[in-house]
Structure 1
Amino acid sequence: VGSLDNIPSNFTLPGMSSANDTANAIKNATRYDIGVRIFEDFASSWYWILIGLLIAMLLSLLFLLLLRFTAPVLVWVLIVGVLAADAYGIWHCYWEYNNYKNSNTTINTIGFTTNFSAYLQVKETWLAFMIILCVVEAILLLILLFLRKRILIAIALIQEASKAVGHMMSTLVYPLVTFALLLICVAYWGITALYLATSGPPIYNVVALNASAPGCGSIRGNQTCDPLSFNSSLYSPCSSAQCIFIKYNNEGLFQRNMFNLQIYNVLGLLWCVNFVIALGQCSLAGAFASYYWAFSKPADIPAFPLCQAFFRTLQYHVGSLAFGALILTLVQFIRVVLEYIDHKFREVQNPCARFIMCCLKCCFWCLEKFIKFLNRNAYIMIAIYGKNFCVSAKNAFKLLMRNIVRVVVLDKVTDILLFFGKLLVVGGVGVLALFFFSGRIQLPGNTFQAGVLNYYWVPIITVAVGAYLIAHGFFSVYSMCVDTLFLCFLEDLERNDGSAQKPYYMSKNLMKILGKKNQVKK
């Protein structure tokens, strides 16, 4: 059939009463056939998919460990690359401007047009581009000149984070614990939602499957029945009468408040998810803080630091984590309500109401990002000092505001490096999977053939998505390590002076960059 939506009215399959039934049957069969083929592709290539995910895990781990040695090179290569790209853009704009310098065509002669390529044929456009790029280049050079020491501090902290992860490799496995806990939360929410939806007693009605048959006209589908004691002979001569489930009763007090209970269930899901994430962040922060505050590394690092931090968090800090998760949950719930209202009334909103709704969604999105940032640093302070959430959030916020330039530099340098790492892992594994599953790479003694796959893009997409999730899990631990060491570093600078009574706990590389040293007793 060329088009399933244009089946002739006289075309019907055996047992079908109309062309619509035939089209639906063909569509369902087509979907079923595609699903079966995809399942066959997974069945024939699942072990190669696992190998691809294992390669992604090894690449992520190798990249994190090599940052100890390659972080300075990568950062400066990226900075020089941005400056060189900007300089090339300036030269190209000048070259284009020189080509159109003697042209009589100007912006005024072109006017306003939807053909944007016409603006690229006048000298004023390239002159404007060249001026903008020159200003950007000058700003970047000034930033590099005045923030050179802060960039060096960020690189040293990234190297120190690599050392911490190398000494505590068990922290890289913790994302699996978070994933398992999140899976439990989602499963509990789904089961609860299903029980709520089916909480009322079922209603069964007598229905005639063939209403046009003799004696079935009087059966209108509003007669209740019991499926266990139903006797079809009572409705003779209608042989197609059956007792069929219609719906669940929604007339009770409990059933009338079903929507409110489902909202409460969603609120509980968001709270549990945020609490599990907070538990992971506080546990990892406790482990990495124990690394920083060990004076002689790695000799003074406690045994099983992650396990100790996890149980310490469960014993002392559950209330603080729940309170922080509740604040974030309320903001997320308001965003969900706004999205629901916008979806329901999108067609009847006037431009003013749509603008107000867009502003509200944008404001609460920014508020959610800020609370996530504040909670993350508050959990680090909780892991270090053991104080409650409000005090820890206030101390973390003040500490970061006193060092706002260092915060911005470290955040951006870390984001660039981790983005480069994700791009390297996902791109490398994805290209390798493309060449392998498309048959361009044949391993010696390999019995797998690309021709056995119905859709070779199925394992490729699976490997790429799995590689991204694996890299994100590894790099999230590394990012938490960098943030924890950074807060510890700021606290170390403010509380200690290098004397014998208050020595610095930072690495020798950081002390060298800052021009500080510890005084040692003779």
Structure 2
Amino acid sequence: MHRQGPYFNRSNVSTSASCQGSQCLFAFYGGETSYHRHLFLLQLSNLLLCLWLINFSLALEQCTLAGTFASYYWARRKPQDIPPCPLFSSFSRALRYHTGSLAFGALILSVAQLVRIILEYVEQRLKGVNNVVSRFLLHCLQCCFWCLEKFIRYMNRNAYIMVAIYGKNFCTSAREAFFLLMRNVFLDRVTDFLLFLGKALIAGGVGVVAFFLFTKKIPVFQEEVPILNYYWVPLLTVVLGAFLIAHAFFSVYAMCVDTLFLCFCKETDVLIQRDRDVLRLSDFPTLRDIPTQFQRDVPTQRNINRETALN
């Protein structure tokens, strides 16, 4: 006689039976490998690559804009000497010749940002610790690396401008830009202040219009505007949004101002080094002083001589 063993199906096994005190825990896949032991380092590597890619994209944008504005500045005859597509020409030069310099500058900035993120992570882990000395040292390190990041970001921006103009390597361009700015630091800060005033003026103007609109002091829109108990909430939102939009547009103008400013400082240094008696910018720069990529169709003979400049 054949004995038939027990069998189970959906009819005699309840899948909804509760198990007291049971829980599901995840251990790992495939055992404890080198991947699991170095998982934190791999995550830091991914974060560093992400920061590097973002900073490289911003560096490429800044170098492209700087090359575009520099082509306008160094053009002897405007607009004849300006390339037909200055933005595309500058972008192609940046990709073809300056990729290494941009990547190196972006890497330096990314490392500083990564250290700041690690310090923020350590601060979160030490929130329950009452060690005053360790927290003080941590805050000091955060402050130092915050200042370092701001300095590197500022130097990278000006180094990219010099790279776009003269095509030199990153370190040489950063050194030349640093000494140029140190000799003209007052004018550089004045331009930044004027750009900030422009953004504040736009945000303030939009805020004034929004205030009169939300308080129903504009007769044309009195019936269309609903009654607001807390009108300052949308008012602050509008002002903040206007400032951010103005900042996005003014960043292009800021790059233009910085590029033209460095070009002017470089040209002025050339004039001073030559001990010229007459500093007339219409006579300069000469052909050999113009960056190589901007020497297209530049006349070698000056139509204005020294006697004409004196007049």
Q: Could you state the TM-score of these two structures normalised by the residue count of structure 2?
A: 0.75
28, 37, 43: which one aligns with 1:250: 28
- 1:491 to 2:266 alignment: yes
56, 59, 67: which one aligns with 1:275: 56
Question: Per the alignment, do residues 352 and 495 of structure 1 end up closer, same or farther by CA in structure 2, a change over 3 Å counting?
Answer: same
**Paired letter, 2:195:** L
217, 234, 243: which one aligns with 1:440: 217
Identity %: 54
- 1:417 to 2:194 alignment: yes
Q: Contact 1:426 / 1:468 at 8 angstroms: preserved in 2?
A: yes
Instruction: Show structure 1 runs of 5+ residues with no match.
Output: 1-230, 507-517
**Paired letter, 2:28:** N
In structure 2, what is the equivalent of residue 358 of structure 1? 139
- 1:450 to 2:236 alignment: no
- 1:341 to 2:122 alignment: yes
Q: Contact 2:112 / 2:145 at 8 angstroms: preserved in 1?
A: yes
The CA RMSD measured in Å over matched residues stands at 3.3
Deviations 1:81-110 (A, max 9, x none): xxxxxxxxxxxxxxxxxxxxxxxxxxxxxx
Q: 5 Å matches for 1:11-160? A: none
142, 157, 172: which one aligns with 1:376: 157
- 1:504 to 2:280 alignment: no
**Paired letter, 1:421:** G
In structure 1, what is the equivalent of residue 3 of structure 2? none
- 1:519 to 2:309 alignment: no
In structure 2, what is the equivalent of residue 385 of structure 1? 166
Q: Could you state the TM-score of these two structures normalised by the residue count of structure 1?
A: 0.46
Question: Per the alignment, do residues 505 and 350 of structure 1 end up closer, same or farther by CA in structure 2, a change over 3 Å counting?
Answer: same
Question: Per the alignment, do residues 397 and 448 of structure 1 end up closer, same or farther by CA in structure 2, a change over 3 Å counting?
Answer: same
Q: 5 Å matches for 1:189-338? A: 233=11, 235-236=13-14, 238=16, 250-252=28-30, 253=33, 254=35, 257-338=38-119
Q: Contact 1:331 / 1:367 at 8 angstroms: preserved in 2?
A: yes
In the TM superposition, residue 424 of structure 1 has moved relative to its aligned partner by: 1.0
In the TM superposition, residue 299 of structure 1 has moved relative to its aligned partner by: 3.8
CA distance in 1, matches of 2:263, 2:285: 9
In the TM superposition, residue 308 of structure 1 has moved relative to its aligned partner by: 1.4
**Paired letter, 1:424:** L
Give secondary structure in 2 for the equivalent of 1:487.
helix
Question: Per the alignment, do residues 356 and 491 of structure 1 end up closer, same or farther by CA in structure 2, a change over 3 Å counting?
Answer: same
**Paired letter, 2:132:** P
CA distance in 2, matches of 1:248, 1:484: 56
Question: Per the alignment, do residues 457 and 268 of structure 1 end up closer, same or farther by CA in structure 2, a change over 3 Å counting?
Answer: farther
Question: Per the alignment, do residues 234 and 267 of structure 1 end up closer, same or farther by CA in structure 2, a change over 3 Å counting?
Answer: farther
Deviations 1:148-206 (A, max 9, x none): xxxxxxxxxxxxxxxxxxxxxxxxxxxxxxxxxxxxxxxxxxxxxxxxxxxxxxxxxxx
Question: Per the alignment, do residues 266 and 248 of structure 1 end up closer, same or farther by CA in structure 2, a change over 3 Å counting?
Answer: farther
Give secondary structure in 2 for the equivalent of 1:319.
helix
Q: Contact 2:181 / 2:188 at 8 angstroms: preserved in 1?
A: no
In the TM superposition, residue 238 of structure 1 has moved relative to its aligned partner by: 4.4
Question: Per the alignment, do residues 303 and 239 of structure 1 end up closer, same or farther by CA in structure 2, a change over 3 Å counting?
Answer: same
CA distance in 2, matches of 1:306, 1:425: 27
CA distance in 1, matches of 2:67, 2:179: 20
Deviations 1:26-60 (A, max 9, x none): xxxxxxxxxxxxxxxxxxxxxxxxxxxxxxxxxxx
**Paired letter, 1:371:** I
Question: Per the alignment, do residues 232 and 314 of structure 1 end up closer, same or farther by CA in structure 2, a change over 3 Å counting?
Answer: farther
**Paired letter, 1:464:** V
Instruction: Show structure 2 runs of 5+ residues with no match.
Output: 1-8, 287-303
CA distance in 1, matches of 2:209, 2:15: 68
In the TM superposition, residue 434 of structure 1 has moved relative to its aligned partner by: 2.8
Give secondary structure in 1 for the equivalent of 2:220.
coil
In the TM superposition, residue 458 of structure 1 has moved relative to its aligned partner by: 6.0
Report which of the two structures shows the higher radius of gyration computed on alpha carbons.
1
**Paired letter, 2:48:** L
In the TM superposition, residue 388 of structure 1 has moved relative to its aligned partner by: 1.6
Deviations 1:375-418 (A, max 9, x none): 111101100111221222222223334x1xx22x1122122212
Q: Contact 2:213 / 2:225 at 8 angstroms: preserved in 1?
A: no
Question: Per the alignment, do residues 327 and 441 of structure 1 end up closer, same or farther by CA in structure 2, a change over 3 Å counting?
Answer: same
Give secondary structure in 2 for the equivalent of 1:296.
coil
Deviations 1:444-477 (A, max 9, x none): 7x873324x7975665444323211111112222
Give secondary structure in 1 for the equivalent of 2:283.
coil
Question: Per the alignment, do residues 288 and 251 of structure 1 end up closer, same or farther by CA in structure 2, a change over 3 Å counting?
Answer: same
CA distance in 2, matches of 1:480, 1:410: 15
Give secondary structure in 2 for the equivalent of 1:450.
coil
Give secondary structure in 2 for the equivalent of 1:449.
coil
